[in-house]
Amino acid sequence: QARLRDFDMAIEEAAADLGARQPFIFLSITLPVIAPAVVAAWLLAFTLSFDDLVIASFVSGPGSSTLPILVFSKVRLGVTPEINALATVMILVVAIAVIGASWVLRRRLAARSPD
């Protein structure tokens, strides 16, 4: 919401006036503006989902199991190398996502600067 609050809607209107269709306007104008907020929200939701076992247990059906529930059930039986490997993979995925998002944002900011 904060990213769109300061967004000038006249840019989208100008694109529509010049003949651009709505999917193109969204993909080329709106999505680049809200992309950092969407990525940040995804990372926050991904991280918080591991903390909330109660909600994860209610959301998952009887035949399915979410990753936090699987990890919790395996840890109750004792920490195994499988759990250590899974935790390492989860940490690497989050770290790579954060580093990748930071790299993309730096490149975009460098491209916008008049240097």
**CB environment 47-69: b (16+ within 10 A), e (fewer):** eeebeeeeebeeeeeeeeebebe
In a domain? residue 25: no
pTM for the whole structure: 0.53
**Domains held by the chain: number:** 1
In a domain? residue 113: yes
pLDDT band at 14, cuts 50/70/90? very high
If one compares 100 and 56, the residue with the highest pLDDT of the two is 100
In a domain? residue 80: yes
In the chain, which residue ranges form alpha helices assigned H by DSSP?
Answer: 2-5, 10-17, 22-25, 31-51, 53-59, 67-76, 81-112
In a domain? residue 109: yes
Q: Are 32 and 46 in contact (CB under 8 A)?
A: no
**What pLDDT, on the 0 to 100 scale, is given for residue 115?**
58
The domain of 78 spans 52-115
Residue 78 Ramachandran class (φ > 0 left, ψ -120 to 50 alpha, else beta): left
Q: How many Å apart are CA 76 and CA 85, to the nearest integer? A: 16
In a domain? residue 87: yes
**What pLDDT, on the 0 to 100 scale, is given for residue 21?**
92
Q: Does 1 score more than 70 pLDDT? A: no
In a domain? residue 76: yes
In a domain? residue 94: yes
In a domain? residue 19: no
Average pLDDT in the 4-27 region? 88
